């Protein structure tokens, strides 16, 4: 054989060895769930030529994959053009950007808890989708039934730096989704400060009656009485009420008593540190009795709608829109709903947000809840558990990233597109930062540093200041005296009271808590209505403890002790 031929044979053999080695490295692998490993470069990343594969957090599946979910919707879901909850801007983005086709296993309109009931039935019958949004109790039920996928590894591999920042900027966020040291769900990150209530007041009624702005709880009492008895709308009729309350009393975010109770240093539904340094349930502490006594007095005086016990937040919104209520404690977003409807019906109306006020010389502290709300659980055994991570990567990128398009994917002139997304996560200070940017641009007239979302709210504030009441909601939240300004005051002046229990539901909570909550609601309602005396609160506390409250409290304190 000639010398050149020998070299050719050696070269061909070397190429064959290299080809076999490369095939071995790039061979698709599957874990026990059939999920492609990090060597799958078609959807997850780029082969760098070594054993390490760079994961693309927004890599597209090719061929596409199918993912199922369920949806609970309500009257706030609005659509444009021909969009529906089954076909919308987010579902199309999942398909076009990620190669994920989403189908809804079922859709339910949430009325009187029908959404939670439907989810509970589905869990009980093990009829669950690939990705599901659930509340903390349902999350624990899925975990205990071994129906939740462990996301620890896929979170580390697939979560984008931006997503990790969003979920880890408040340590309690991801911690709430971690059970036995494993990430068992994605938390729906929510700004903890936005749980805080503000005091919404009909400022035009204050002016009509020449009343001062509320600075103390005594001011609130006087304003409420005047709104109910002194014809604040000047129509010649006694057809208005002072304080609005919804039928859940302590929750709902619109016209509940959380902020009112905070003024008495009471924190219903929250776990707080008691005088002995232990965690205690705020609804049973003595300060709650004082708050209920004042509410009972206000009800007896005709300041609270006698039908409040059968009116939810939607019904309260209608009463506000028709000019029947002048005070309510609610969250910062109440300016969007239900209060914008008040201005739509009566452009001369003027609701304004104030900080909550105190009954004494101690400052009122606004209760702030979890930095996570619900949870996104992936069904155990789902072929592509990493899909949930990638979908959340896309969410934070489209809303907060370098290629963000908030007007397309978050909100635009009253259409809340973000609600269509399967998985969501909010930055802790996003809305306060928008308020600050609006404030800067109002002072300078320069909007060049603003993103599209900030410019939209700046435009709303400007429109309202120029007389266009369609922009009132933007003014009410992001304006110079808006509700976000109040929340910023809470933060900067340390006027918050965070809940002290941020762990998963305790062992007995799922069984005990619903019973105790029903008992609490019944007792609080009867005391306010005058059907039970304020003194009956003490027996309620004793019964609460005997019917499982002590067990629940002990479990919460065991959690606290183990996390010190």
Q: Is the pLDDT of residue 54 over 90?
A: no
Q: In sequence order, what E strands does 312-365 have?
A: 325-330, 351-354
d(CA 187, CA 148): 14
In this structure, what token pair is assigned to residue 492?
């900067």
499 and 493 Cβ atoms separated by less than 8 Å: no
> Mean per-residue pLDDT for 24-39?
35
Q: pLDDT tens digits for 58-93? A: 999 999 999 999 999 988 899 999 999 999 999 999
Place 30 in a pLDDT band, splitting at 50, 70 and 90.
very low
d(CA 203, CA 350): 5
Q: Which domains does the chain have, with CATH numbers?
A: 55-190+372-420 (3.40.190.10), 195-368+496-562 (3.40.190.10), 430-492 (no CATH)
Query: In the Cβ-directed half-sphere of 476, how many Cα atoms lie within 13 Å?
Result: 30
350 and 203 Cβ atoms separated by less than 8 Å: yes
CA distances for 22 relative to 17, 27, 49, angstroms: 9, 8, 9
Pairs from 465-471 (Cβ < 8 Å, separation ≥ 24): 469/343, 469/344, 469/347, 470/344
DSSP-assigned letter for residue 212? P
If you search the block for the tokens 């709210």, which residue do you land on? 457
Q: Determine if the peptide bond prior to 338 is cis (ω within 30°).
A: yes
Q: Is the pLDDT of residue 5 over 90?
A: no
Please, where are the H alpha helices in 235-385?
Answer: 258-262, 286-300, 313-321, 339-345
Please, where are the H alpha helices in 27-94?
Answer: 89-93
Calculate Rg over the CA atoms of the chain: 27
Give pLDDT, residue 452: 87
Cα 157 versus chain centre, distance: 26
d(CA 552, CA 564): 19
DSSP-assigned letter for residue 36? B
Q: Is the pLDDT of residue 153 over 70?
A: yes
163 and 425 Cβ atoms separated by less than 8 Å: yes
Share above pLDDT 70 across residues of the chain, in percent, rounded to a whole number: 91
CA-based torsion, 512, 517, 518, 519: positive or negative: positive
> What pTM, to 2 d.p., does this model score?
0.82
Residues in contact with 490: Cβ distance below 8 Å, sequence separation at least 6, in sequence order:
193, 196, 355, 366, 496
CA-based torsion, 190, 194, 195, 201: positive or negative: negative
Give pLDDT, residue 247: 95
- According to DSSP, the β-strands at 496-498 and 366-368 are parallel
Report angle CA 62, 67, 415 to the nearest 5 degrees.
105
d(CA 135, CA 185): 11
Instruction: Give the residue from 456, 464, 467 showing the smallest Cα distance to 414.
Output: 456
Helix (H/G/I), strand (E/B), else coil: 97: helix
Give pLDDT, residue 52: 46
Place 53 in a pLDDT band, splitting at 50, 70 and 90.
low
Q: Is the pLDDT of residue 503 over 90?
A: no
> Mean per-residue pLDDT for 169-174?
86
Q: Determine if the peptide bond prior to 63 is cis (ω within 30°).
A: yes
DSSP-assigned letter for residue 282? G
Q: What are phi and psi of 452, to 5 degrees?
A: -60, -40
d(CA 357, CA 365): 9
Share above pLDDT 90 across residues of the chain, in percent, rounded to a whole number: 79
d(CA 369, CA 428): 12
Q: pLDDT tens digits for 86-137? A: 999 999 999 999 999 999 999 999 987 889 999 999 999 999 999 999 998 8
Give pLDDT, residue 372: 78
CA distances for 374 relative to 141, 246, 366, 379, angstroms: 13, 22, 21, 16
Q: pLDDT tens digits for 173-227? A: 898 899 989 999 999 998 899 999 999 999 999 999 999 999 999 999 999 999 9
Q: In sequence order, what E strands does 515-564 have?
A: none
- According to DSSP, the β-strands at 325-330 and 241-243 are parallel
- A 10 A CB-CB count for 24 gives 8
d(CA 23, CA 25): 5
The helix (run of H) or strand (run of E) holding residue 65 is strand 65-73
Instruction: Give the residue from 460, 408, 416 showing the smallest Cα distance to 434.
Output: 460
Residues in contact with 162: Cβ distance below 8 Å, sequence separation at least 6, in sequence order:
393, 396, 397, 400, 401
> Mean per-residue pLDDT for 357-363?
98
Place 3 in a pLDDT band, splitting at 50, 70 and 90.
very low
Q: Is the pLDDT of residue 320 over 70?
A: yes
Q: In sequence order, what E strands does 95-192 have?
A: 100-109, 131-134, 178-179, 182-183, 186-189
What average pLDDT does the chain have?
90
Give pLDDT, residue 24: 38
> Mean per-residue pLDDT for 527-533?
98
DSSP-assigned letter for residue 279? E
């Amino acid at each position: 054989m000639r010398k050149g031929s020998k070299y050719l044979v050696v070269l061909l053999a070397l190429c064959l060895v290299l080809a076999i080695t490369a095939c071995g490295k790039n061979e698709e692998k599957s874990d026990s769930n059939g999920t492609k490993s990090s060597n799958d470069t078609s959807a997850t990343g780029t082969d760098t030529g070594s054993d390490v594969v760079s994961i693309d957090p927004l890599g597209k599946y090719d061929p596409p994959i199918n993912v199922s979910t369920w949806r609970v919707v309500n009257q706030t879901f609005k659509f444009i053009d021909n969009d529906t909850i089954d076909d919308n801007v987010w579902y199309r983005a999942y398909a076009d950007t990620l190669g994920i086709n989403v189908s809804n296993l079922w859709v339910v309109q949430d009325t009187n808890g029908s959404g939670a009931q439907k989810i509970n039935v589905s869990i009980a019958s093990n009829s669950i989708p690939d990705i599901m949004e659930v509340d903390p109790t349902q999350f624990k039920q899925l975990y205990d039934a071994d129906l939740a996928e462990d996301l620890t590894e896929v979170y580390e591999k697939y979560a984008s730096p931006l997503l990790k920042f969003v979920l880890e900027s408040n340590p309690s966020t991801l911690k709430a989704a971690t059970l036995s040291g494993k990430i068992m769900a994605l938390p729906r990150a929510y700004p903890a400060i936005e749980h805080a209530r503000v005091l919404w007041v009909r400022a035009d009624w204050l002016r009509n009656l020449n009343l001062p702005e509320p600075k103390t709880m005594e001011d609130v009492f006087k304003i409420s009485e005047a709104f109910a008895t002194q014809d604040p709308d000047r129509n010649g009729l006694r057809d208005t009420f002072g304080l609005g309350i919804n039928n859940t009393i302590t929750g709902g975010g619109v016209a509940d008593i959380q902020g009112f109770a905070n003024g008495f240093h009471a924190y219903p539904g929250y776990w707080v540190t008691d005088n002995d340094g232990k965690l205690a349930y705020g609804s049973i502490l003595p300060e709650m009795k004082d708050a209920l006594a004042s509410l009972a007095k206000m009800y007896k005086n005709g300041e609270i709608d006698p039908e409040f016990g059968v009116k939810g937040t939607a019904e309260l919104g209608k009463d506000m829109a028709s000019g029947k209520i002048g005070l309510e404690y609610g969250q910062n977003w109440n300016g969007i709903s239900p209060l914008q409807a008040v201005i739509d019906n009566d452009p001369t109306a003027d609701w304004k947000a104030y900080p909550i006020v105190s009954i004494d010389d101690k400052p009122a502290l606004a209760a702030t809840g979890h930095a996570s709300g619900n949870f996104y659980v992936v069904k155990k055994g789902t072929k592509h558990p990493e899909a949930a991570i990638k979908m959340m990567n896309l969410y934070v990128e489209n809303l907060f990233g370098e290629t963000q398009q908030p007007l397309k994917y978050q909100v635009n002139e009253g259409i809340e597109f973000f609600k269509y997304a399967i998985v969501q996560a909010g930055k802790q200070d996003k809305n306060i930062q928008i308020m600050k940017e609006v404030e800067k641009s109002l002072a300078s007239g320069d909007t060049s540093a603003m993103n599209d979302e900030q410019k939209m709210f700046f435009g709303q504030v400007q429109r309202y200041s120029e007389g266009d009441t369609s922009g009132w909601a933007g003014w009410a939240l992001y304006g110079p005296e808006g509700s976000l300004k109040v929340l910023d005051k809470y933060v900067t002046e340390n006027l918050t009271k965070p809940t002290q229990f941020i762990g998963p539901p305790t062992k007995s909570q799922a069984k005990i808590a619903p019973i105790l909550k029903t008992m609490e609601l019944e007792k609080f309602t009867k005391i306010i209505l005058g059907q039970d005396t304020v003194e009956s609160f003490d027996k309620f506390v004793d019964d609460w403890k005997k019917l499982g409250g002590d067990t629940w409290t002990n479990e919460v304190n065991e959690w606290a002790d183990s996390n010190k």
